Amino acid sequence: MSDVVSVRKDGEVAVVTIDNPPVNALGHAVRSGVYEAMAGLRDDADVKAVVLACAGRTFSAGADITEFGKPPQPPALFELINAVEDMPKPVVAAMHGTALGGGFELALGCHYRVADSKARVGLPEVKLGLLPGAGGTQRLPRLIGPEEALKIIVSGDFVGADKALKLGIVDEVTDGDVNEAALELARRLAADGTGPVRLSDRDDKLQAVKADDTAFNETAGKLTARARGLEAPHACVEAVRWSFELPFEEGLTKEREKFMELVAGDQSKAQRHIFFAEREASKVSDMPKGTTPREVKTVGVIGAGTMGGGISMNFANVGIPVTIVETSQEALDRGFATIEKNYRISVSRGRMSEEELKVRMSRLTGTTDMSDLADADFIIEAVFEEMDIKKDIFGKLDAIAKPGAVLASNTSYLDIDEIAAATNRPGSVLGTHFFSPANVMRLMEIVRGEKTDFDVLATAIDLGRKIRKVPVVVGVCFGFVGNRMLKARQLQTEQLLLEGATPQQVDKAITDFGFPMGPFAMGDLAGLDIGWRIRKHVGADAEGGRAEIADALCEMGRFGQKTGRGFYIYEKGARGGTPDPEVEALIVETAKRFGIERREIGSEEIVERLIYPMISEGAKILEEGIAQRSGDIDVVWIYGYGFPIWRGGPMFYADQVGLAHIRDRLDFYAEQTGNDALRPAPLLQKLADEGAGFASLAGKKVRAA
Ligand code: 3H9
- DSSP symbols for 476-532: -STTTTHHHHHHHHHHHHHHHHHHT--HHHHHHHHHHHT-SS-HHHHHHHH-HHHHH
Atom 23 of ligand 1, nearest CA residue: 279
Residue 609 lies in a domain: yes
1 touches 35 (CB < 8 A):
no
- 509 CB-near residues (< 8 Å, 6+ apart): 518, 603, 606, 607, 610
Q: Which residue has the higher pLDDT, 495 or 282?
A: 495
Mean pLDDT of 611-626: 97
* C-alpha 103 – ligand 1 centre gap (Å): 11
* C-alpha 555 – ligand 1 centre gap (Å): 52
Peptide bond into 75 cis (omega under 30): yes
What ligand 1 atom has the least distance to the C-alpha of 62? 2
Q: How confident is the model at residue 228 (pLDDT cuts 50, 70, 90)?
A: confident
- End of a domain among 439, 474, 509? 474
Q: Do residues 637 and 557 both lie within one domain?
A: no
**Which SS3 state, helix, strand or coil, does residue 12 take?**
coil
**Which SS3 state, helix, strand or coil, does residue 391 take?**
helix
* C-alpha 98 – ligand 1 centre gap (Å): 10
Is there an atom of ligand 1 within 6 Å of 661 CB? no
Kindly write down the DSSP assignment for every residue of 71-139, as one continuous string: PP-SSPHHHHHHHHHT-SS-EEEEE-SEEETHHHHHHHHSSEEEEETT-EEE-GGGGGT---TTTHHHH
**pLDDT attached to residue 384:** 87
Q: Best of 65, 66, 271, 274 to mutate for ligand 1, by most ligand atoms within 8 A of CB?
A: 65
Closest CA to 141 of 200, 206, 93: 206
Q: How confident is the model at residue 573 (pLDDT cuts 50, 70, 90)?
A: confident
CATH value at residue 581 = 1.10.1040.50
Read off the pLDDT of residues 461-479 as tens digits, 9 standing for 90 and up. Answer: 999 999 999 999 999 999 9
Is there an atom of ligand 1 within 6 Å of 22 CB? yes
113 touches 107 (CB < 8 A):
yes
Domain that holds residue 102: 5-264
**pLDDT attached to residue 471:** 97
Peptide bond into 437 cis (omega under 30): yes
- Distance of alpha carbon 326 from alpha carbon 272, whole angstroms: 43
The amino acid sitting at 211 is A
* C-alpha 615 – ligand 1 centre gap (Å): 29
Please report which residue ranges of 213-300 form alpha helices under DSSP H: 214-224, 232-245, 248-263, 266-280
Mean pLDDT of 210-238: 95
The amino acid sitting at 574 is A
Q: Across all residues in the chain, what is the average pLDDT?
A: 95
- Distance of alpha carbon 626 from alpha carbon 415, whole angstroms: 13
**What spatial distance separates the first Cα and last Cα of the chain, rounded to whole Å?**
51
463 touches 548 (CB < 8 A):
no
Q: Do residues 584 and 674 both lie within one domain?
A: no
Q: How confident is the model at residue 636 (pLDDT cuts 50, 70, 90)?
A: very high
Residue 673 lies in a domain: yes
91 touches 189 (CB < 8 A):
no
- Distance of alpha carbon 310 from alpha carbon 332, whole angstroms: 13
**Which SS3 state, helix, strand or coil, does residue 182 take?**
helix
Q: What number of other Cβ atoms are within 10 A of residue 462's Cβ?
A: 17
Q: What is the DSSP letter of 219?
A: H
Strands 120-122 and 172-174: unpaired
Peptide bond into 682 cis (omega under 30): no
**pLDDT attached to residue 121:** 98
Read off the pLDDT of residues 367-384 as tens digits, 9 standing for 90 and up. Answer: 999 999 999 999 999 998
Read off the pLDDT of residues 537-554 as tens digits, 9 standing for 90 and up. Answer: 766 655 555 789 999 999
- End of a domain among 593, 618, 634? 593
Q: Do residues 546 and 630 both lie within one domain?
A: no
Which one is catalytic: 67, 79, 105, 555? 105
What ligand 1 atom has the least distance to the C-alpha of 136? 5
The answer to whether residue 498 scores a pLDDT higher than 70 is: yes
Mean pLDDT of 382-394: 94
Is there an atom of ligand 1 within 6 Å of 133 CB? yes
Is there an atom of ligand 1 within 6 Å of 703 CB? no
Q: Which residues of 35-47 are buried (b: 16+ CB within 10 A; e: fewer)?
A: bebbeebeeeeeb
* C-alpha 704 – ligand 1 centre gap (Å): 34
- 527 CB-near residues (< 8 Å, 6+ apart): 559, 560, 561, 562
The answer to whether residue 533 scores a pLDDT higher than 80 is: yes
* C-alpha 82 – ligand 1 centre gap (Å): 23
What ligand 1 atom has the least distance to the C-alpha of 100? 30
Atom 54 of ligand 1, nearest CA residue: 23
Highest-confidence range of 304-308, 527-531, 537-541, by mean pLDDT?
A: 304-308
Is there an atom of ligand 1 within 6 Å of 232 CB? no
**pLDDT attached to residue 542:** 52
Is there an atom of ligand 1 within 6 Å of 25 CB? yes
Residue 482 lies in a domain: no
Residues in a beta bridge with 5: 18
CATH value at residue 395 = 3.40.50.720
Is there an atom of ligand 1 within 6 Å of 644 CB? no
Q: Best of 23, 78, 236 to mutate for ligand 1, by most ligand atoms within 8 A of CB?
A: 23
**pLDDT attached to residue 703:** 47
- Rounded to 5°, angle at Cα 632 from 629 and 636: 155
Q: Do residues 313 and 389 both lie within one domain?
A: yes
Residue 486 lies in a domain: no
105 touches 135 (CB < 8 A):
yes
The answer to whether residue 600 scores a pLDDT higher than 80 is: yes
pTM of the model: 0.94
The answer to whether residue 313 scores a pLDDT higher than 80 is: yes
Active site residue 278: no
Residue 705 lies in a domain: no
What ligand 1 atom has the least distance to the C-alpha of 280? 48
- Distance of alpha carbon 82 from alpha carbon 62, whole angstroms: 16
Atom 44 of ligand 1, nearest CA residue: 23
Q: Do residues 587 and 620 both lie within one domain?
A: no
Is there an atom of ligand 1 within 6 Å of 683 CB? no
Q: Do residues 153 and 209 both lie within one domain?
A: yes
Mean pLDDT of 132-147: 98
Which one is catalytic: 85, 125, 278, 605? 125
The answer to whether residue 702 scores a pLDDT higher than 60 is: no
The amino acid sitting at 469 is K
Element (H, E) at 659: helix 659-673
The amino acid sitting at 465 is R
Q: Do residues 202 and 307 both lie within one domain?
A: no
* C-alpha 161 – ligand 1 centre gap (Å): 20
Residue 290 lies in a domain: no
161 touches 178 (CB < 8 A):
no
**Which SS3 state, helix, strand or coil, does residue 690 take?**
helix
Closest CA to 141 of 245, 250, 260: 245
- Distance of alpha carbon 263 from alpha carbon 112, whole angstroms: 30
The answer to whether residue 454 scores a pLDDT higher than 50 is: yes
Strands 568-569 and 578-579: antiparallel
**Which SS3 state, helix, strand or coil, does residue 150 take?**
helix
Radius of gyration of the chain (CA): 28
- End of a domain among 456, 474, 492? 474
Q: Do residues 618 and 588 both lie within one domain?
A: no
* Percentage with pLDDT > 70 across the chain: 98
- Distance of alpha carbon 479 from alpha carbon 537, whole angstroms: 17
* C-alpha 701 – ligand 1 centre gap (Å): 27
Active site residue 250: no
Domains in the chain: how many in total?
A: 4
The answer to whether residue 385 scores a pLDDT higher than 90 is: no
Residue 588 lies in a domain: yes
- Rounded to 5°, angle at Cα 631 from 626 and 633: 45
510 touches 501 (CB < 8 A):
no
Quote the distance between the C-alpha of residue 281 and its chain's center: 12
- 351 CB-near residues (< 8 Å, 6+ apart): none
- Distance of alpha carbon 647 from alpha carbon 699, whole angstroms: 22
Mean pLDDT of 226-246: 95
Q: Do residues 209 and 88 both lie within one domain?
A: yes
Read off the pLDDT of residues 47-85 as tens digits, 9 standing for 90 and up. Answer: 999 999 999 999 999 999 999 988 889 999 999 999 999
What ligand 1 atom has the least distance to the C-alpha of 77? 8
Q: Do residues 191 and 142 both lie within one domain?
A: yes
Q: What number of other Cβ atoms are within 10 A of residue 538's Cβ?
A: 15
- Distance of alpha carbon 303 from alpha carbon 328, whole angstroms: 10
615 touches 637 (CB < 8 A):
no
- Distance of alpha carbon 314 from alpha carbon 307, whole angstroms: 11
Strands 49-54 and 13-18: parallel
**pLDDT attached to residue 705:** 32
Q: How many CA atoms lie within 13 A of 642 on its CB side?
A: 16
Residue 113 lies in a domain: yes
518 touches 579 (CB < 8 A):
no
**pLDDT attached to residue 530:** 81
Counting beta carbons within 10 angstroms of the beta carbon of residue 125, is it exposed (0 to 12), middle (13 to 18) or buried (19 or more)?
buried
* C-alpha 60 – ligand 1 centre gap (Å): 9
**pLDDT attached to residue 540:** 60
Strands 429-434 and 406-409: parallel
Q: Do residues 422 and 459 both lie within one domain?
A: yes
What ligand 1 atom has the least distance to the C-alpha of 127? 36
Comparing 6-10, 233-237, 695-699, which segment has the lowest mean pLDDT?
695-699
Mean pLDDT of 39-50: 96
* C-alpha 102 – ligand 1 centre gap (Å): 11
Mean pLDDT of 158-163: 98
Q: Do residues 436 and 551 both lie within one domain?
A: no
The amino acid sitting at 470 is V
Is there an atom of ligand 1 within 6 Å of 62 CB? yes
Q: How confident is the model at residue 704 (pLDDT cuts 50, 70, 90)?
A: very low
What ligand 1 atom has the least distance to the C-alpha of 256? 8
What ligand 1 atom has the least distance to the C-alpha of 78? 8
CATH value at residue 129 = 3.90.226.10
